[in-house]
Chains A and B, each alone.
Chain A
Amino acid sequence: MISPLNRRQALALGTGAVLATTLSLRAAPALAAKNSTDEAIKAFTGGKEPVKGKVKLELPEIAENGNTVPMTVGVDAPMTKESFVEEVMIVADGNPNPGVIRFHFTPSSVPEANTRIRLAETQNVIAVARMNDGSVFSDVKQVKVTIGGCGG
């Protein structure tokens, strides 16, 4: 008999775990991360506090499938030799490891990228962008990973 609820069974170990509830958009997301998200961000920014803005994450509010969540990240940057985004790091604070992906850009790049990411449970996804002048910006979105099945 196939379980009707098997989608998240592998993820069910943390039953009762308190989900991160803050949706604060403050720069270094002050979240009670369950992994080393904060450290990963600090390492990426060289200890600087990222400022909210310039970088924008597009993610569904509720994932249709936590194993493959479409994600787009874009940065508002002129992309000239004088001013461009060098690198964007994506981290997820509820996955076993925070690191998701990094994108590298040059002045000739279009400052946008999309891919699919895997999310183990409901959590915050954070994008941090580092510009060529060393300034850092961030965006955060909460994505809910749900069992589903009772809407209608």
Chain B
Amino acid sequence: MTSRRDFLQIAAATAALVPTGWTRAFAQQSLVQDDLLAFEPMGNVTLVHLTDIHAQLVPVLFREPSTNLGVGEARGQVPHVTGRAYLDLFGIPGGSPLAYALTPEDYVALARGYGRMGGLDRIATVLDAIRAERGDKVLFLDGGDTWQNSYTSMLSKGQDMVDCMALLKPDAMTGHWEFTLGTDRVKEIVDGLGCPFLGQNVRDAEWNEPAFESTKMFERGGAKVAVIGQAFPYTPIANPRWLIPNWLFGIREEDVQASVDKARKDGAALVVLLSHNGFDVDRKLASRVKGIDVILTGHTHDALPQAVKVGQTLLIASGSHGKFLTRVDLDVRDGAVKGYRSKLIPIFSDVIASQKEMAAKIQAIRSPHEAMLKEELGRAEGLLYRRGNFNGTLDDMICDALLAEREAEIALSPGFRWGTTLLPGQSITREDVYNATAITYPAAYRMTMTGGRLKEVLEDVADNLFNADPYYQQGGDMVRVGGVAYAIDVARPAGSRVSDLTLLRTGKPIEAGTSYTVAGWASVNEGTEGPPIWDVVAAHVRRKGTVNPTPAQVTVRGA
């Protein structure tokens, strides 16, 4: 496959690198922008996919997961392959730029060498280059999770992202965290967005009528291209229903099929699903809905260097946090796709030039807050990261903060997949804290909960992650816990996965009938009270000075 050859080119160019003894300058010397963008063009349509940037305007560190388990038919299949196995599967040399971008292998050393990834100004440069080459063949599509989860996006209610994305001129987008801005704000933005906000699976609750456009038809390279939008199906469950009380979601597989059929009837030669379903849901959808050529999949933050083919449908997974863009060239003739070539383009921020217009816009947005955001609260002793099915050291830090600052026995922290990474010895700034916590429902609550109830919560979230049928999954990671240890057998049925719950403070088993003091944040319930989580975490980091979080104690079986 050509996409494989393309990245092997990059890999080969840097294969001589060894992870010890080289300097940052040396690491980057062997990487040049032209190599990252190199692509043998094909056909008459180019899709460019960006998704799940979580409002990160500037380059970030984001460590990919070491634990990302698949269950049922997805067991051992991509994207549930990590680390060394991932490198072997795709033939990526250890220590290479792609090894750094795509796996947690030797992460700290490689991060120090290859530096940050992403940045909308770098993404703008890549888009400019693709558009210069491919002109009116290009469709640029934003998979959502774009407007929220940084300080400036929270403060401006998504306006910073809307303004910056406008410079990139996307042709369409769909959403998930966008909806946490609430109905009125979403409507206000969508009305003036300048590109369609597509969501075939969102209905108004009163009359069950479409809340957004389902499909947008484009003409590219002489071919009719239909883009169907699929918003995150479980937004009102995973995020607060009260923020969007009148919108119903769901996968609505039959409606996807109806939208595809209509697009074909209207003459579409290429049908694209711009999806925020998550990878496993999209893989199942692709096996059941007929007539989709390409699914640009988002939500679960998977980055894959090759398209995954399910029947006649290509699945493209473009990662998160601005680390990647995927370019897909398609040869669309006589009403059908005759061939394709794809490439996951890694956005190495020290290699890809900054685009001036976007850089200026980002600077204007950030400069009033820069001093506050750069304020150092403390220092990370070890690596602080979030992504992974069961725990991340960054969440361990948040749980420690909840236990200490809210005087609780047990802490619960949501299994969000977004949030940036800090290297050992790095200072922890206010911005780092916001990058892990910036949401519109941040109250750090404190309550009592019985042991039985705690078990029920863990079981419930576990089933959202490990139900063998992807249509019953929600795509987040497991809720993070502090103050308790537990074991989980991911292969068991709902309600029977979690066992051996132990209160760490006493070393005794959690009793179903006993009440415990629990602190947490990101409750989906309206009226939840407590200080914003970022204040709780900031206070804790300040008090500690150097942060060395208590490691989570989760025993995993059945993987």
Contact = CB atoms under 8 A, between A and B. Distances in A.
A1 B447 contact: yes
A8 to B, nearest CB: 8
Given A62-B472, A151-B234, A151-B476, A6 B493 contact: no
A80 interface: no
A4 B464 contact: no
Contacts of B91: none
A11 to B, nearest CB: 10
A76 interface: no
B248 interface: yes
Interface size class of A (residues with CB under 8 A): 20 to 34
Interface stretch (A12-20, A87-95, A132-140): A12-20
B523 A21 contact: no
A146 B237 contact: yes
A47 interface: no
B445 A62 contact: no
Interface in B454-479: 455-457, 460-461, 463-464, 467, 469, 471-472, 474-479
Contact of A62 (B237, B416, B447): B237
Nearest to A60: B250
Contacts of B455: 15-16
B208 A4 contact: no
A64 B456 contact: no
B236 interface: yes
A43 interface: no
Interface stretch (B113-121, B340-348, B351-359, B525-533): B525-533
A3 interface: yes
B239 A64 contact: no
Nearest to A114: B208
A40 B353 CA distance: 69
A151 B238 contact: yes
B542 interface: no
B76 interface: no
B447 A4 contact: yes
Chain A at the B interface: mostly helix, strand, loop or mixed? loop
B465 to A, nearest CB: 9
A71 to B, nearest CB: 12
B472 to A, nearest CB: 5
Contacts of A149: 237-239, 414, 461, 522-524
Interface residues of B, number: 57
Contacts of B456: 12, 15-16, 147
B517 to A, nearest CB: 11
B447 to A, nearest CB: 6
Contacts of B479: 150
A61 interface: yes
A55 to B, nearest CB: 15
Contacts of A70: 208, 248
Interface string B24-64: 00000000000000000000000000000000000000000
B241 interface: yes
B463 to A, nearest CB: 7
A17 B461 contact: no
A122 interface: yes
B415 interface: yes
Contacts of A146: 237, 460, 463-464, 474
Contact of A15 (B254, B469, B512): B512
Chain B at the A interface: mostly helix, strand, loop or mixed? loop
A42 B52 CA distance: 50
Interface string A116-152: 0000001000000000000000000010101111111
B452 A152 contact: no
A148 B453 contact: no
B417 interface: yes
A2 interface: yes
B528 A148 contact: no
Contacts of A18: 493, 495-496
A55 B380 CA distance: 60
A65 interface: yes
Given A16-B495, A18-B495, A144-B472, A152 B177 contact: yes
B239 A151 contact: yes
A152 B523 contact: no
Contact of B238 (A4, A15, A16, A148): A148
Given A15-B456, A18-B496, A21-B493, A148 B524 contact: yes
A150 B461 contact: yes
A87 B414 CA distance: 46
Contact of A144 (B414, B445, B463): B463
Contacts of B449: 5
Contacts of A7: 525
A39 interface: no
Interface of B: 176-177, 208, 232, 234, 236-239, 241, 248-251, 254, 414-418, 445-447, 449, 452-453, 455-457, 460-461, 463-464, 467, 469, 471-472, 474-479, 493-496, 512, 520, 522-529
Query: Which 3 pairs show the lowest CB-CB distances between chains A and B?
Result: A151-B238, A4-B523, A148-B237
9 contacts: A19-B495, A62-B234, A64-B249, A64-B250, A147-B461, A150-B464, A151-B464, A152-B414, A152-B417
Given A3-B447, A58-B254, 10 more contacts: A17-B495, A19-B494, A60-B250, A64-B237, A64-B249, A144-B467, A150-B461, A150-B479, A151-B234, A151-B476
